């Protein structure tokens, strides 16, 4: 509109003409209230984006736990005196493979079993002397897992001392824990988000309160409420967008730095543990979309608050009409 800069102004027809500066915007460009609003908004969007990132990270990790653990199941066979363990193992493997949904089955041979037990029982173990249970490791197709109950029944029928462990209890417990973590994270996110909303609303109103006389003069020289509101709205939207972008960018950079730091120590056992627990410090596409929507929501919310506040201010100015105790 006509409050935009107009470069050709003042180069007028008459050379003696005074050179006018480009029309200043109706809403004063910068002031302390505007700057502190920007600062508050950037802090709040930084916190909200950071919380969102953390929640997404925990959720991703929980999902990966769930899928990794259930990718394998095992059949245990306890040896008994007079039992041909190897034959039973082979039978168990064949039964498992006969089910659709299993992608492979390997018998853990005596050497491998000994190696597994080495840390506890020492080297040079004679497997024949110990009734150590033997394992068949079955890899399954996660997308269409085999019928565990059917497999269990078939094993009971034809293999002695077989026990099918589909890690259900373990997985269930982990999933429950992960879900709790995610729910807590979502609650924290909701709280941070509500705090952001309230802060943005009150900070915007604070920044606007210094502009009461401008709203009033504009109104008295004949500006419509919507005109005044749109000027202020545009101005504060830009302030909020800058602040929120800075905050969102800050959070993204914080995640990137944490990721670099984690990668630099990737070889150490501590970082392996951290990785296993928290997953990588990388934000997924969902994280970026979430951060972007926090930025947009914050800016839109500020603009909306501005609009409502300005229109309400004008309504109050006109309300004074019917309440003469209040001065202009």
Partner 1 sequence: MIDFDNVGLRYGMGPEVLRDLTFEVPRRSFQFLTGPSGAGKTTLLRLMFMSLQPTRGFVRVFGQDITTIPQQELPKLRRRIGIVFQDFRLLDHLTTYENVALPLRVRGKEETSYRTDVMELLKWVGLGDRMNVLPPILSGGEKQRAAIARALIDQPEILLADEPTGNVDAPLARRLLRLFLELNKLGTAVIIATHDLSLMDQIDARRMILSGGRLEIYE
Q: Which residues of 128-164 are buried (b: 16+ CB within 10 A; e: fewer)?
A: eeeebebbbbbebeeeebbeeeebeebbeeebbebeb
C-alpha distance from residue 178 to each of 60, 173, 259 (Å): 10, 9, 22
Minimum distance from residue 34 beta carbon to partner 1 (Å): 12
- 210 belongs to the binding site for partner 1 (CB under 8 A): no
Minimum distance from residue 205 beta carbon to partner 1 (Å): 20
Residues 298-327 that bind partner 1 (CB under 8 A): 315, 317-318, 320-322, 324-325
- 143 belongs to the binding site for partner 1 (CB under 8 A): no
d(CA 276, CA 270): 10
Q: Which residue reads 């824990």 in tokens? A: 177
Of the residues 58, 178, 225, 251, which one makes contact with partner 1 according to CB under 8 A: 225
- 285 belongs to the binding site for partner 1 (CB under 8 A): no
Pick between residue 7 and residue 124 the one whose CB is nearest to partner 1.
7
Binding mask 10-49 for partner 1 (x = CB under 8 A): --x----xxxxx-xx-x-xx--------------------
d(CA 123, CA 319): 92
Of the residues 56, 107, 208, 218, which one makes contact with partner 1 according to CB under 8 A: 218
Any long-range contacts for 313-317 (C-beta under 8 Å, 24+ apart)? 313/208, 313/212, 313/215, 313/216, 314/215, 314/219, 314/225, 314/228, 315/225, 317/215, 317/216, 317/219
Pick between residue 6 and residue 141 the one whose CB is nearest to partner 1.
6
Pick between residue 111 and residue 221 the one whose CB is nearest to partner 1.
221
Cα dihedral 148, 151, 155, 157, rounded to 10, equals: 120
Of the residues 224, 276, 286, 293, which one makes contact with partner 1 according to CB under 8 A: 224
d(CA 298, CA 304): 10
Pick between residue 21 and residue 169 the one whose CB is nearest to partner 1.
21
Backbone angles phi, psi at 6, to 5 degrees: -135, 100
Q: How many residues does the chain have?
A: 328
With CB under 8 A, what is the number of residues at the site for partner 1?
Answer: 39
- 269 belongs to the binding site for partner 1 (CB under 8 A): no
**Residue ranges that bind partner 1, judged by CB under 8 A:** 1-3, 6, 9, 12, 17-21, 23-24, 26, 28-29, 213-214, 216-225, 227-228, 315, 317-318, 320-322, 324-325, 328
């Amino acid at each position: 509109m006509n409050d935009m800069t107009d470069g050709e102004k003042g180069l007028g027809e008459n050379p003696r003409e005074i050179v006018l500066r480009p029309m200043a915007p109706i809403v004063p460009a910068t002031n302390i209230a505007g700057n502190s609003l920007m600062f508050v908004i950037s802090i709040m969007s930084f916190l909200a984006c950071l919380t969102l990132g953390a929640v997404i990270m925990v959720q991703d990790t929980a999902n990966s736990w769930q899928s990794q653990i259930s990718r394998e199941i095992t059949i245990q066979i306890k040896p008994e005196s007079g039992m041909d363990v190897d034959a039973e193992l082979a039978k168990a493997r064949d039964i498992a493979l006969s089910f659709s949904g299993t992608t492979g089955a390997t018998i853990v041979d005596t050497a491998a079993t000994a190696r597994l037990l080495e840390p506890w029982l020492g080297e040079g173990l004679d497997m024949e002397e110990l009734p150590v249970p033997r394992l068949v490791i079955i890899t399954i197709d996660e997308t269409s897992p085999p019928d565990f109950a059917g497999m269990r029944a078939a094993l009971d029928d034809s293999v002695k001392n077989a026990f099918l462990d589909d890690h259900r209890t373990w997985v269930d417990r982990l999933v429950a824990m992960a879900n709790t973590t995610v729910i807590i994270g979502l609650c924290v996110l909701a709280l941070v988000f509500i705090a952001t909303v309230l802060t943005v609303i009150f900070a915007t109103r604070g920044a606007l309160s210094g502009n009461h006389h401008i709203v009033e003069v504009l109104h008295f020289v004949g500006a419509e409420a919507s005109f005044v509101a749109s000027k202020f709205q545009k101005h504060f939207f830009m302030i909020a967008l800058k602040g929120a972008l800075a905050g969102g960018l800050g959070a993204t950079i914080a995640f990137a730095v944490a990721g670099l730091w984690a990668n630099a120590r990737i070889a150490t056992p501590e970082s392996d543990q951290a990785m296993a627990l928290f997953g990588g410090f990388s934000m997924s596409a969902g994280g970026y979309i979430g951060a972007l929507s926090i930025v947009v929501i914050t800016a839109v919310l500020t603009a909306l608050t501005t609009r409502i506040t300005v229109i309400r201010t004008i309504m109050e100015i006109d309300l004074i009409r019917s309440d003469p105790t209040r001065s202009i």
